Amino acid sequence: MKPEMFTVILAGLVHATLQLGVGTLLLLYHASLGKHIKKRTRELVTNYILGNGLLTAMAVAAACFGIFVTCNGEMNPAMLTIVVGILLALAVSIWAFYYRLGKSTELWLPKSISRYINRRAKLTESNTEAFGLGMLACFAEVPFTLILIVVTANSILGLPQALQILAVALYAILSVLPLIVLRIAARKGQTVVDIQKWRISNKNFIRIISGTGFAVLAAFLLVFKILGA
C-alpha cells in the first residue's frame, strides 16, 4: 500500500475516535425516541450521519483544492514540520483535556456550545434539521479535525487521479464509521443508556487511543514525508 493511502486511512481512523459526533448522535437518538416512532428516529439518524459525512468529504475536497492552489499540489517539508508539531500538540491536548474531569463523557467544548447542540438535538424534527445537526457536529469539532483534513488532503494529492475521489470517500466513510456502528447497535436493541454506560467505562481507553493516533500520524509524516523526502 502506498504511504499516501495509509495516511488517509490512519487520519480517517483518528478522526473516527473523536467523540462529539457520537455524543450528538446519542442526544438526537434519545430526544427523537421520545417524540417519534423508531422508524422515524432511524431516518433522522441516517440524515444526521449523511450530514456529518458529507461535510467531512466537502472539507477534504476543499482542503485538496486549497493545497493544490497555494502549494502547487504538495506541501513542502517546512510546512509539513509545522503540521507535525500541531499534530503532536493536539495529541497532548487530547490526553490532557479533551474530556472534562468526572464520571461523564463531557468534552472540551464551551458550555454554551454544548448546550446549544443539546437544544438543537432536542428540537430536531425533520430530516433537513437532522442533516444540519450532523453538519453542525462536524463543524464544532474543527479545532481537532482541521489538521487531520489538511494531512489527508495533502496525501490525496499525491495519489493517482483515479484514486483521489475514492480516497476522499474513504476518509469520509471512516470518519463516520462509529456513527454507523452506533446506528446498527441501536437497531439491534441497544439503548442509549447501554451505549452511554459503555462510553463512560471506556472513556480513558478512547482518550489514549485518540491521542496516540494523533502522535502516530505525526511520527508517520515525519518518517515518510519529511525525513524520507
CA geometry: angle 101, 102, 103, nearest 5 deg? 140
Q: Does 158 engage in binding with another protein (CB under 8 A)? A: no
Work out the end-to-end distance of the chain between its first and last CA atoms, rounded to an integer number of angstroms. Answer: 18
Shortest separation between residue 56's beta carbon and another protein, angstroms: 18
Greatest Cα pair distance, the chain, in angstroms, is 56
- With contacts defined by CB under 8 A, name the span among 5-13, 97-105, 144-152, 214-222 that binds another protein: 97-105
Shortest distance in whole angstroms from residue 106 CB to another protein: 5
Q: Does 56 bind another protein (CB under 8 A)?
A: no
Our finding on whether 43 is near another protein (CB under 8 A) is no
Residue located via cell numbers 451505549: 195
Does position 104 interact with another protein (CB under 8 A)? The reply is yes
46 or 196: CB nearest another protein: 196
**Residue 44 near another protein by CB under 8 A:** no
Rounded to a whole number of angstroms, the minimum distance from the CB of residue 38 to another protein is 10
Render the burial of 31-53: b for 16+ CB within 10 Å, e for the rest: bbeeeeeeeebbebbbbbbbbbb
The answer to whether 192 contacts another protein (rule: CB under 8 A) is yes
Say which amino acid occupies 75: M
Q: Residue 124 corresponds to which cell in the numbers above?
A: 430536531
Q: Does 114 bind another protein (CB under 8 A)?
A: yes
Shortest approach of another protein to residue 104 CB, angstroms? Answer: 4
**CA angle (152 as vertex; 151, 155 as ends), nearest 5:** 90
In the set 10, 14, 117, 217, which binds another protein (CB under 8 A)? 117
The answer to whether 210 contacts another protein (rule: CB under 8 A) is: no
**Rounded Cα–Cα distance for residues 85 and 79 (Å):** 10
Residue 2 corresponds to which amino acid? K
Does 57 help bind another protein (rule: CB under 8 A)? Answer: no
CA distance 59 to 146: 9
Q: Which is nearer to another protein, 43 or 106 (CB)?
A: 106
